Structures are given as C-alpha cells and as structure tokens.
A and B are shown apart, each in its own frame.
Chain A
C-alpha cells in the first residue's frame, strides 16, 4: 500500500495522462516483483480527468454504483462536468410503464448540483403528479443558469392539467435566473404572454430555439414580442393561430438572423373553423431574408376547412396532411408550393390522384420525399410520376392499397418498374392481412 501512495504523490504533481502512464508502468513492474496486494495502487492513481472521461460513458446508475467504491471515485461522481446535462424522468407507476428518476437522486441534484445544470429536460407521463413534480423541481432551480430547457409530455399533456399560475411561477424562476437560455421546448403547456415577456426580458440575446406548439394561452401579440426582441431566433414552432403577417415581417427584419426553420401546426378545434390568411408579401419577405429556411406545416383539418390555404404561392418545404385532404387541395399544392421537399398525405379518398401527382412532379422540382396513406393512384400514373422525379426521391413510402392496377401494370410487376426508375429496389408498404 505504501508504494501505491508514493505512486499517487508522484502523480499529483503531473496530472497528465502521460504521467499516470509512467506511474502505471512502474506499478506494473513493481507488481511483478511484489504480491497482489499492490493491485489497488493502479486504480488509485487514475487522475480525476481520466475518471471523468470514463464516467461520462457510464449510464447514471452504473456511475452511481461506481461512486460507492471509494472516496476518490465519489468525488469524481460529483464533478460539475458530469452534471451539466440531466433528464428528469417523472412517471407514476399507475400511468406509465417507464421507470422514474429516483426521488433521492432528485434531492441530491437540487442540493449539490443545481448550479452545474445547463441542459435540462423533463419527461413527464400523463399524470398530474408528474407535472407537479416537474414544477416543483423547476421552482428550486434558483442557482441555475440553464442553456437548454425541455418540458416533454410523453403521453397526454399533463402540464395543461396544472393550475396555470402554479406552472407559470415555476417556469419564470428559470427564465429569470438563467439569463442565457438558448433552447426552450414548452409545447403543450399553459405558458402565457406575460411569462413570454419575462423570457424575453432576460434571454433575448441568447434565445435560438423556441418550440411552443399547442400553447393555448399565448396570443399572436405574445409571440410577436419574442420575435421582435430575440434577434438570434433560428428555430420556431407554433400553432397557426399565432402566425401573423407582423410576425413574419419581424422575423425578416434586418436585425434578425437567418431563420433555419419554422414549424406550424394547423389544427381544427371545431368543424367549420375559419382560419385567417397570411399575405404572400409576408412569405416573400421571409424568403428574401432567409433564402434557405425550411417551412414545415402539419395540417389537421377537416376537408372543407382548407379554403384559405394554397391560394397563393407559399414557401412550404415539408407538408404533412394528418387527416384526409381533398383532391382539389392537392391540385392546388402542385401549383403553389415550388419549394416543396417532402409531401406526406395520410388520406385522400377514393378518387385517383393521378393528375395531381404528375403536376407535383412537374412543379415541385425539389421534391425528394413522398408518403401516401389511404389514397388511390393508378399504376400507370404512379410509374409516370416516378419516371419524372425518381432520380431525386430518397423516400418513397406508398401503402400497398394505394396502387390501383390498370391495363398496363398489375400489382405484381409494378414494383420492378418503379425500382427501375428509382435506381434501387422498392416495394410498397404493406399491412398484414389476417
């Protein structure tokens, strides 16, 4: 043991891995001469940086076990670098199959490491208790300067079941204390305009990413405030009702950086809902300011609610229709979406989409991914479509029932034709027939 200690003393001065290696070699040589008692010396001489490096590879549970081995390892376990990122998993056995972060560990983190935390996320299940537990932790992160915060509901949005004031006060603790928030994910939460003001007041220089789809208490004015003040904003996700011409203009102002992407969810609350229109000039301003930006739009509307959409050119790049969309609207998509990269259609109906697909192949020259669910396309038209854009299609996901055999192609040979034009083996997506 004495020699082991000597090894350590020599080590302390150097602290580089090289130094340690020399010590190791010496220890090994010594070991050949001595008995196995000296084995312990090798481990003790590992410098903290090496331990840290190794510990970073270990999952939390293994790290925790390792920390019980000796004081040195326990110290390493508590090094700030290991506590920069943490994901709190808050689940109740009654509502989720997933395991939860141990409450004792949570207490420890708040006590010893809250000021080390920088990248934090909360994964909560559908129970109210989990959301409350998340708020509880948030309110205690007073010494934190978070860079990233994510509030993620893995099932039903339980944050919405909390009293709004309770949630807001917990969230604003983070907003006020962090002052350097760069990424914020607060979809499906009761965040409101005043709390967004607090966010902006403290983090306007650093905010780059904001995801807040389905936050019903926010108004267009609230989000406009964010766009006006946070000039570094690159990624934004919100619901269509928050989108306004003013918002797009603000995001295209000279002071603003280029936007990477804008994600918009268009969701119908009640059938026959009226949606406002966005002027073409606003979209044009966006494209001028950020020529490479991606516009991702997810539609969850009844077929007859599409009136205001796809009348003028719109710079959408990724389009998803989560409910059935009419033939007419798909025809309009071909005419108004020149920047389209991905088109995914959940369902259409029982009339073939032949013309619409061909038009999309012709007009949407950037299209590289297409997915068709419950639709119908004649085999010939589909082959035509693939002939036209096969060389640029990286994703072609067509449900088997979509393809209607005709005089030229049957179901058994269509996949060879398509594969030919695609340049790789292709089959439609299948569903089990029992």
Chain B
C-alpha cells in the first residue's frame, strides 16, 4: 500500500507536471497529465524523441465504449501500435459481491467491445490477473511506452490508479488520463462550493448552473485511426486473451433465464435512439408520473449503460439538450431535464474525496444511527420472503432481472431501514451492489444514505407503507402476480395484504398465508411507530432540538441559508440576489 501523498498527488489541480525520474536514461520523459476538462488537449505532453516508437495500451475499466473516449483517442494519437486491455481476475470473481446478472452484463459489454474492435481490425485483450501484477508483465512484453485510461473519480479508483501511475513511471511508461465518466470536473464543483462537496441536491444544481456546459463528446474512433496503429493479433489471441464465460467465473448457468438487459455499447446506442424517439412521441420532457408500466424493465432504460460506461453521459446530455431545443425552441433547457444524470453527478461529487462514503462509521457526512443487527430479517428482505407482496415482488424482480424502478427502490430501502426493519443501510447497499446492474459505488452508497435519512439533511417523516404505497402505484396488482405467481389468484382487494383475506378466500386462491406464502414479518403500524420515535431521538440529539415539532428535529444545512445563486429559470420577479464574488 503506497503512502497517501504519493498516490494522490497527480490528482490535484496542478498544471501538467513533467517528472524526470533519476533512474531513467536521458531522453525519456515521463509525463503525467492531470485529468482536465478544459479544451486544452494533451498539449502539455512534452515532445518525445523522434526515434522513439510509441506502443500504447488503453486500459478499459468503466467507459466500455469506443465513442466519446478521449483516453482511447490519446492512445491512438501518434501511436505505432495500440492494444486495448481489460483486466479481470476470475479467482476474485467468486469472492466479490457481484451477482450473476452483473457479470453477465459485463461479459456482454466486453464481447461487444471485442466485436467492434474486430471491425477495426483489432481485438480486445482480456488479461487475467490483478493490475499490479499484470502491468509489469505487459509493459515488458509489449514494450509499452504509453498507458491511457479514463479517470476514475471514486476514492478506491484514485488509490489504485495512483499506484499504477507510479509503477508506469518506474517503467518509463507515459500515463495519460482523461475524464469522461462524469459530465463535469468534480473537483471544480467542490472548489466552487468552498472546497466541500454540496450536500443538498439543490445546492449542487445551483453550482452546476454556473458552470459552462460539459465538454462536447468526441466521435467514435475510426478505422482510419486504427489503421495507423495497426497491431498484429497473435494466433493464440483467443487462448490467452479471450473473454471468460460465466462458467469460468464459477456460475451455474443451466437455469439462467435470458438477460432482460443486454450489455454493451451497441445495445446502449440503440436504446439511446429509442429513448429519444419515445420522448418525442410522448412530447413530454418533464418527469413522467409513474404508472404501472414504469415498474417493468423498459427497452429504453439507460442507467446500467451509464454505469458501465457503454453509453457516454455526455452523449446523453447533448442529445437531450438538442432534442429539447428543437422541440421547445427555447434557448436552454432547465436542469430538471437532466435529472438522472445530475443525481449521478451529485453522488460522485459527494463521494470522490470520502473513502468512507460507503459506511456509517468514520463517515463524516453520515448520521450515526443505532441500527439493529438481524441477519435473519435481512435474509428475508434480500430474498423476497418478507410476507409483504409489494416488497417481495420488487426484490424478486431485482434478483431476476437486475433493475427496479426508482420508486420501487425507495419502497424496499425504506422498509429495510427507517420504515420497518431498522437494519443498517450498509446491508441493503451490499445487496444492491450484488444484484443491481446500475449500482455505482458512489450512487449506490449515496442513495442508500439518502433513503435511510442518514445523510443529506432529509426529513424522515414520510414513510412508504409496504401495503398502501404498492397499491397506489399499481392498483391492478399485476406486478405482484407477475413476480409472485403463487399469489396470482388473489383479488385486487387482498393481493397487497393477503394475511387479511378470509381463510376461505385464501384456500380458494390456492395460497394459504403461513403455508404457501410467508406471514408478514412485522406489524407495520407498530414498526413505523417505533422507528419514527428512534429517528426523532437520533435527530434531536444531533440538532439539540428540544421542542415538539417533528419537522424541526432535522437540522437545516448552512448552505441552504445562503442567499440564492442565480438560476436559469429565474424570472425578474424571483427573489434572486447575486452573491457578491
């Protein structure tokens, strides 16, 4: 483990640094470009000696795509050979908290990359092992002089990458990193907020509205570009560098149903077009009110593709923006158009400098709540055996398909934590990490903290009832019938609370509660009564509030109290005052 100062240095906002290592023969210049969102290209790259051959390696991690991939463009830029690698450790696969759907999505994305690279007369090199052991080997074997990869803003990623950069320096390899996973330069956002990440979404939006637009996406790499750095593919390529199968990673695939969400860049771009078409058809660029249909996996859903980087967030951003401007003929769209993208950005910003972001202990932004430890209850929740059909159906869909609607997420997260079971959000986060296709580390942890009212100054009074909320979202009960087929003969009146149905009805429906379907594991009224009291106790201690108001127990954050920043949608009658700079 490297000392922190060595690892994090490249990621400060210093101008491009040129380091000449002592052990290097003269003439080699190791260059580390800090990730930068400005339009300056790698002009800070020092000129390399004319006789030097440039052998590039592009390291795919997230950003599994050939479009809008600035780091990959850098790999190709003036290179003699280019090899695209993905590093994967099959031994580690079994230990990691990653379920079969996520692996399958990833493997499909890698296959898609490989196919796309084949069309450009190249291939994807999937190298088995860990980066720290793989790279020294590859550097030597391929005479690598340049290593490129996309900047990873997550704390674990920064640490890992710092070590790799240092290693690259030692081997005389130039490391070029570019930011393309987030819309903006996250450190800039933090800087504009008095050097701390915004802790309310509105504050975040305010700051973002003062930034210039995200950098425009780059086009996909072309055959011409690749031809200039054509790399011979060995005959044993498939032997050494093939994409592993699910079986090789230790999964059983006999009963595996086909994937609902197909991984890969091609699928992502296809969906993007359909997504935009749908928006035009609906002629509605506002938040759609949720209805039953939204609960099912949508053929135009994009979140898993954003997470794996199969779809560039900037491509989505600019497509939405241009569509809006075309349809509405207004100068600029409101920030609410980019809701999904900005939430993602918000959590990435909050997490980037906080290695403890995914836990309660030692996390400066997380409220310390005395959650219960109850493995049995947690298992029932995770496996969809709570006895509440709404919760069980959602968890079943999650396990089978890898995606659930965000309101469904709110429902199950509330049930597990502050609503009913009073179990720590960390446990829920880990289950989502395993099962949910679009669970980024930052977004998953941040959302769980938000939904459990552990951070971000949320009010805790609104509790999602595991019966009522489901019934209001899908009165027909079809969602339940689809994912919990044993309940399909229950009438709408009782399908959300089968334990209340008279025995005769239960028998007629061939599903007796307690026998064929579990009894409800908790009394919701009693549970929520207890829990609201617990949350109040915790928050009153935090805010030193001694009064009777439930709402006033939650402290308000300083940033809200500041005078408002100018907002694009502000009319002249708004109370905006410009903050003195």
Contact = CB atoms under 8 A, between A and B. Distances in A.
A293 to B, nearest CB: 11
A395 B465 contact: no
A397 B453 CA distance: 14
A346 B462 contact: yes
A431 B461 contact: no
Contacts of B523: 269
Contacts of B247: none
Interface string A350-377: 1000000000000000000101011000
A300 interface: yes
A154 interface: yes
A125 interface: yes
B87 to A, nearest CB: 28
B340 interface: yes
Contact of A413 (B410, B451, B464, B571): B571
Contact of A152 (B537, B550, B574): B537
Interface string A272-298: 000000000000000000000010101
Given A155-B372, A371-B551, A397-B551, A432 B446 contact: yes
A95 B378 CA distance: 12
Contact of A434 (B447, B524, B560): B447
Interface string A298-324: 101100000000000000011010111
Given A410-B286, A432-B450, A434-B447, A395 B551 contact: yes
B469 interface: yes
Contact of A411 (B201, B336, B469, B571): B336
A344 B535 CA distance: 15
Contacts of A301: 525
Q: Max chain B CB contacts within 10 Å: which of A320, A347, A349, A374?
A: A374
B548 A434 contact: no
A425 interface: yes
Interface string B136-174: 000000000000000000000000000000000000000
Interface string B559-573: 010011000011101
Interface string A6-26: 000000000000000000000
Interface stretch (A46-54, A62-70, A260-268, A328-336): A260-268
Contacts of B537: 152, 154
Given A271-B500, A318-B550, A373-B461, A412 B336 contact: yes
B328 interface: no
A222 interface: no
B529 A413 contact: no
A379 B263 CA distance: 41
A431 B450 contact: yes
B355 interface: no
Contacts of A188: 530
A375 to B, nearest CB: 9
Interface residues of B, number: 65
A94 to B, nearest CB: 6
B574 A419 contact: yes
B338 to A, nearest CB: 11
A233 to B, nearest CB: 17
A432 B447 contact: yes
Contact of B334 (A155, A265, A412): A412
Contacts of B347: 432
A347 B462 contact: yes
Contacts of A394: 552
A420 B462 contact: no
Contacts of B534: 154-155
22 contacts: A95-B374, A96-B371, A96-B373, A97-B361, A154-B370, A156-B372, A214-B530, A265-B529, A271-B500, A320-B532, A342-B548, A346-B461, A347-B465, A371-B459, A371-B461, A373-B463, A397-B551, A412-B334, A413-B569, A416-B569, A433-B343, A434-B303
Closest 9 A/B residue pairs (Cβ): A373-B462, A154-B370, A155-B372, A395-B551, A300-B525, A416-B574, A412-B334, A324-B468, A425-B564
Given A296-B548, A420-B574, A432-B446, 5 more contacts: A98-B370, A155-B422, A346-B461, A419-B564, A431-B406
Interface of B: 201-202, 286-287, 303, 334, 336, 339-340, 343, 347, 360-361, 370-374, 406, 409-410, 422, 424, 438, 443, 446-447, 450-451, 458-459, 461-465, 468-469, 472, 500, 523-526, 528-530, 532-534, 537, 548-552, 560, 563-564, 569-571, 573-575
Interface of A: 94-98, 123, 125-126, 152, 154-157, 187-188, 213-214, 261, 265, 267-269, 271, 294, 296, 298, 300-301, 317-318, 320, 322-324, 341-342, 344, 346-347, 349-350, 369, 371, 373-374, 394-395, 397, 399, 405, 410-413, 416, 419-420, 425, 427, 429-434
